[in-house]
Structure formats: C-alpha cells, structure tokens
Amino acid sequence: MSPDMKEFITVCPRNCYSTCSFRVFAGEGRVTRILPYEGNLATPEGPCIKGLTYLEREYSASRIIYPLKREEDGSFRRITTEEALETIAGKLSEVREQHGPHAVLFYKGSGCSGLSNEIATTFWRQFGGATTTYGNLCWPAGLEAVRLTLGEVKHNVPWDLANASLIIIWGKNSAETNVQEMIHIDRAKKNGARVVVIDPRRTPTADKADILLRPLPGTDAALALAIARVIIDNGLENREFIGKYVSGFDRFRDSLDITPGKAEEITGIPASVIEDIARMAGESERLSVIAGYGLQRYTNGGQTIRAILSIPVITGMIGRQGGGFNFANLQSSVFDDVKEPLSYYPDHEADRPFRRAVPMAGFGPALSALKDPPVKFAWIERGNPAIQLPASGEAVQALRSVPFKVVVEQFMNDTAALADIILPSKGIFEQSDVVGSYWNPYVQYKPAVADPPGEVMPESEIYWRLARKMGMATGIKCGLPSPEEYDGWLYERISNTPGLDGDELMKQPVIPGQNEEPAYGQLQFSTSSGKIELWSDDAARLWGVSPLPSFDPPDDFGEPGLPFRLMTPNIASRIHSQFGNLEAMRNVMEEPAWEISVADARGHGLKSGDRIRIFNSRGELTGRVIVTSRVRRGSIVFPNGIWLAEGGGVNTLIPPVETDMGHGAAFHNTRVGIEKIPS
C-alpha cells in the first residue's frame, strides 16, 4: 500500500436495513479499496455486492459531474454551475412572487440518508414553504401497527438473534435484502435454533430454512390469527406476562374466529401445518419473529402486522433476550424531533405552516389535481419517482406538466431525463455526514475521504449558494452552513445530541446511550394504557380499522377477473432503482424477467424465454418470462426498480392506493393478466 494512502472507517448511507460499516483506503483525493470493518457487530463481514461496487459508482464514466440543461430538442448540454444556480434562483423567485411558495414542489426520496439532509428542509422552510409529500413508499403501515401495539418502534440488536431458539422469518428475504442478518440467523442455527420462513415465494432465504410455508399473497393475517388461536386453545399463551403487561387480551381471544381449517381455505396452508407451527411457537423458549416490509404493502398491511405481532405478544416474548418482534428499530434516530411514523401524518402540527402535502401513494393524480396554486416548479432529490411511485405513468404525466423541473442526481435515470436542469449530486465519499440505521443500533460517522469530480457539490453547498443568491439568511445558526462551516455545523449537531460523544463517534460506530437492550426490556410501553395494546382505540379512531388485529381480504380494485397477483420484490443487485446501471452488476445478474409458476406456464402454453404481454386496466407491458417452481400458482413476480431502458415500468400497472394505516402504498394489491406473444 502506498505510504500516502490512509485508512478510514465509513458507512453505507443507502436505504437498506444493514447500514454496513466498512473500511476504505484513500489517497490523493481518491478511494482505491474497500474492506470489511469487524468493529460493527451487526455487519462484521463488510458490505454486500452493492457496497462493493461503490468504486465503480463513484468513478463511473456515466456519472453526471457537471450541471446539464435541457435543449428544445430534448437533449442535454453541459452548463456551468453559476449558470445553473442563477437560472434556478431566478425561477424560484419568480414562481414564489407570482404564485406563492406552494407552487414549488419539494420531492425527496430516501436514496441517500444522513444528517446533512436536514439542510434541505431548512432551505425550503426559509423559502416560505413548499408543496411536499406525506406517507412513504416503504414501511409506514408496519411502523404504525407496531407503534399502536407497543408504543414505540424498536427491536433487539441484530446479534441477539443468535440467542433465539425459534426464528420465524415472515415475508422477508434477508439473504438478498439484509444479507448481514443471515450471519446472526446462521449463528442461531448453529446454536440449535429452528428457522421457519413464511413467504409466497421460495427465496434464497427460504433455502436456508427448516420449514417453508407459502401462503397466498395478502392472506398472512389469517394465518397469524389462526396460529394465535391454536396457541390459546392449547393453553400455550404466557398468562403471567399477559396479566401484567397486555391490554385487550380477553377481547382478542374472543375475536379469534379463524380456525386452522378456515385458514387453510384462505391461505392454502394445510390446517395440520398451521397447528404444528403454532405449537412450535407456543412451546418455544425464545421466539424471534422477523417481519418484512412487503407484508404491509397491501390494503390490509397494518392489520397484518398487528396480527403477526400478536404471536410474540401472547407468548410473552416482548422485552426478552433472544425473543421479540423485528420489523424496524428506530433507536438510532436520535436526531429526530418527531420520529416516524408520526412524521408521515399529512397535517402534523410541526409542518402545518410549512407545507401543502400530497400523498406519496397517489402522487400523480394528486399533483395533477392541485389548484390555487398549481405546481409551477419541481425540485427532486434522492428519489426516482418516474418509476418508483405507484401509477408511475400518471406520476410522469403530472411531472411533465410542471413548467420547470430540477433534479439532483448522479446518473441519467428516468426521472433525471424529465428535468430542465440536472444538478450533479455528491458521492458517498465526498462529504462528511452522520448516518443512523433502522435495523442495527449504531449511529455512524461518514468522513469525507475523496475529492468530488468535475463540478459536483454537496447538496448542502447547493442550498447555501441558492440561499445567498436569493437573499436568504445563511450560516450555522440559520441551519444553512457554508462549505467552510459545514463540518462545524455537523459536529455541533452531534455534540448537542444526548447519548452521543462527538469525538468517539468520529473514530468508530457508536450505540447511543439511550439504546434499550433488549428492546422493551423495562416492560414499559408508551401507549395510552401503558401496556401492550392488542385492543387499540387509536387504531379505530385514526384509521377506521378494527381496534383488534383482523384479517381483511385485500382489495382487487375492481379487477377480480384477472388471474395473477403481481408482486414486485427487491433483489440483491439493486436498492430499488439504484446500482442496476453499473457494469459490475450487469455482469453478475441476469436480465430482469417475469417469473411465473410451472402450473401457470403450462396453462398458458409458456416456456422460459417466451415473450408475454402483461396487462390490466391501467396499461400493459411486454417482457420475457421465466418458468420456476419458486413462484406459487396465481402469482407473477417482477423486481422493482428496473429502469425503463431495461424493460421496467412495472409500476404503471400498480394503482395509486394507500394501505389501511400509515399512508403507505399498497403495491401488491395489483392484479394482472398475461398472454403469450407469438414468435
């Protein structure tokens, strides 16, 4: 290694469970090597395949490193940063003066996390407000379900899974989407634990299970409630725990009208298997239930999570080492004044003066319907709404109708292609930041270790420069630090946060002092009753659902005649729409294709490699089919995040409908038909 090369500990800031720590080696303003960092107990083996491609991502020849302006013929030409910012500042001032601040749309995704993202919100508040979004595409129904039941959203540290005697992985494909979790699951298996996977697909995670159950998509709540009934009917509930810490148990017990036999009719899982799994759960000494995010992307998503959560509740596993319910862990969100999911409420008091909001799930139709004023200027960062939103075709149409659009992006993706001006966004090595996780307990420092290429600026500098051009207040005290002040602003935010030591954090990942382990270990719950609430008045009051966990069949949105339930899972080669454009990924991953079962292929006269038309009332797509035993009959699977140029656009078929709580997107409540395209 060259003597001028230095080693740094850093962290991946992408929207991923793992939030991996890793080591990088950099010299002369460039990163040259990535290696694991064993000091993070959650991610000791280093980053996944996506993290290992960061060198290509940062130094790709296709990366946008200069501002680009759209020409009349639709092409883009390079312009200077000064011209770009002058044009943007002028447009913003003009729109605000003529139509007011709500004529500006500020759209932010979750493509890159970090404390520096606060600066964006500070800018738009000082601007006078903006039209923004509420809800979330990822997980809010499940977050709200956990909050309603337990009061807070948290779970045990990932390495505690090694202490479990039974692990139920429900609707999560950790082997592709949270690879570090498999380290701790494998340790549990070596310690004698059994692993059950419940998933309509046979995933790489299921390949490692002792038992696989494959329910019909959207029926998981019925399965969970039948398991709960068997546990109670056999006297396997923890009565002492329930008596002390659970509210609403009697009413929950009396509501359980789904027998294993009835659940078999609903889910397709044999009644005897349901009974066996229920006894395993009820008799387990240390039961950990891991629930994925796809489960709650249905119109019954929140109630589904409440139903599954009832199993570790009635068996007394909450607050125990080796036990509990793992959905999300927000204990590292120490910088947030308002934690999710409360921050997703469209009329949250802290945001009322600031924003007019449209729903994420129904973005396209809602944006098109806005009047008084209509949106005249759109600013888009950290997201790719052109392909990631439900009803993405309507979202694109709505964005195209906005007269002026700025997109901050690293690559020419489908949303950047809609812009009038593209500003290059920073890479992960080019600015210091602080990153939390929604899976492991660490807060982590991400140092600046490389020079930005071309005219790339951190977004914080973009906002600072725009603010100065528009006569807005800047500086640390205003929350809009200059480039020279940025590191001081960051250190001040760290130092003023309870439970953190800034100097220690800059050396290694830190678990905040207020982290509770095991989660809920004090057996105190921030609910209205102070107990775990199986009966939730708030569920009925806020969301109009049953106060008890219930199974409500997923809505077919007027298309019950179409035979296939569409599923759009995440895959190992990308985080939503990121990373799939990299050559390293294309070399190791197969071309995206539509997966159907052997039985369905036989019924439609299809074989792998055939081309099919996929359609519903919202539109149609064409693509290549793969016939596989990994998909159950009646389902069709296509990964999310595939760019249009790769044959993507699957979200054009997905209706703009919300989940039952939390303002999530019911992606999987979609039916389609297929037909073979003659060769």
φ and ψ at 272, to 5 degrees? -65, -35
E strand or H helix that includes residue 421: strand 421-424
In eight-state DSSP terms, residue 510 is: B
Distance of CA 591 to the CA centre of its chain: 24
Q: Please report the pLDDT score of residue 375 as a whole number.
A: 98
Name which residue leads in pLDDT, 296 or 343.
Answer: 296
Secondary structure (3-state) at 105: strand
DSSP of 599-658: HHHHHTT--TT-EEEEEETTEEEEEEEEE-TTB-TTEEE--TT--GGGT--GGGGS---B
Average pLDDT for 585-596? 90
The mean predicted confidence, pLDDT, of the chain is 94
C-beta atoms surrounding 250 within 10 Å: 12
pLDDT at 655 over 50: yes
Mean pLDDT value of segment 517-543: 97
At residue 533, the pLDDT reads 98
Task: Using pLDDT thresholds of 50, 70 and 90, give the confidence band for residue 303.
Answer: very high
Report, in this order, helix, strand and coil percent for the chain, each rounded to 5.
35, 20, 50
Confidence of residue 4 (pLDDT cuts 50, 70, 90): confident
State the average pLDDT over residues 420-448: 97
Angle between helices 260-267 and 220-233 (to 10 degrees): 170
**pLDDT tens, position by position, 454-513:** 999 999 999 999 999 999 999 999 999 999 999 999 999 998 888 898 899 999 999 999
What phi and psi, each to the nearest 5 degrees, are found at residue 612?
Answer: -130, 160
By the 10 Å C-beta count (0-12 exposed, 13-18 middle, 19+ buried), 679 is classed as exposed
Q: What is the DSSP letter of 662?
A: T
**Residue 174: which of 152, 189, 153 has the closest Cα?**
189
Spatial separation of the C-alpha atoms in residues 205 and 63, rounded to whole Å: 33
Average pLDDT of 656-677? Answer: 96
Comparing 122-136, 270-284, 331-345, 602-616, the range with the smallest average pLDDT is: 331-345
* CB neighbourhood size of 457 (10 A): 23
Q: What is the pLDDT of residue 341?
A: 58
So what's the pLDDT on residue 555?
A: 81
Which tens digit of pLDDT belongs to each residue from 57-82?
A: 999 999 999 999 999 999 999 999 99
Domains and CATH numbers, the chain: 6-59 (2.20.25), 68-131+357-435+444-505 (3.40.50.740), 140-331+518-543 (3.40.228.10), 564-676 (2.40.40.20)
User: Got the DSSP string for 302-362?
Assistant: HHHHHHHHHHHHHTT-TT-TT-EEES---TT-TT-SS-TTGGG-TT-GGGTTTEEEEESTT
Instruction: Please state, as a whole number, how many other Cβ atoms lie within 10 Å of the Cβ of residue 321.
Output: 14
Per-residue confidence (pLDDT) for residue 679, from 0 to 100:
84
R_g of the chain computed on alpha carbons: 25
The percentage of residues in the chain with a pLDDT greater than 70, rounded to a whole number, is: 97
Distance CA 134, CA 338 (A): 14
DSSP state of 441: S
Q: Where are the alpha helices (DSSP H) in 100-245?
A: 118-127, 140-150, 174-177, 181-190, 220-233, 239-245
Q: Is a pLDDT exceeding 60 seen at residue 351?
A: no
Cβ atoms of 68 and 421 within 8 Å: the answer is yes
Those residues whose C-beta lies under 8 Å from the C-beta of residue 144, and which sit 6 or more positions away, are: 302, 341, 543, 661, 662
Q: How confident is the model at residue 349 (pLDDT cuts 50, 70, 90)?
A: very low
Q: How many CB atoms lie within 10 A of CB 200?
A: 27
DSSP letters spanning 174-212: HHHH-TTHHHHHHHHHHTT-EEEEE-SB--TTGGG-SEE
pLDDT value at 352 more than 70: no
Predicted confidence (pLDDT) at residue 343 exceeds the cutoff of 70: no
Q: What is the pLDDT of residues 240-258, one digit of tens each?
A: 999 999 999 999 999 999 9
pLDDT at 588: 83
* pTM of the predicted structure, to 2 decimals: 0.95
Element (DSSP H or E) covering residue 584: helix 583-588
CA nearest 216: which of 614, 658, 652, 556?
556
Confidence of residue 353 (pLDDT cuts 50, 70, 90): very low
Q: Which two tokens stand for residue 226?
A: 């039948």
Q: What b/e string do you get for 584-598 counting C-beta neighbours within 10 Å, with b at 16 or more?
A: bbeeebeebbbbbbe
| Tokens linked to 149 | 């039941």
Residues whose CB is less than 8 angstroms from the CB of residue 153 and which lie 6 or more positions away in sequence, other chains included:
143, 146, 147, 327, 328, 329, 330, 339, 340, 341
Average pLDDT over residues 19-24: 96
Is the peptide bond between 483 and the residue preceding it cis, with omega within 30 degrees of 0? no
Contacts of 388 (CB under 8 A, 6+ apart): 109, 137, 576, 577, 640, 641, 651
Backbone torsions φ then ψ of 465, nearest 5 degrees: -65, -40
pLDDT of residue 335 exceeding 90, the answer is no
* Other residues' Cβ atoms within 10 Å of the Cβ of residue 609: 11
**Checking phi first, is residue 350 left (phi over 0); if not, alpha (psi -120 to 50) or beta?**
alpha
Asked if 649 and 621 touch (Cβ cutoff 8 Å), the reply is yes
Q: How far apart are CA 453 and CA 148, in angstroms?
A: 47
Confidence of residue 25 (pLDDT cuts 50, 70, 90): very high
**Model pLDDT, residue 559:** 82
CA max distance for the chain: 73
Location of structure tokens 């659902």? 545
Tell me, what DSSP letter sits at residue 462?
H
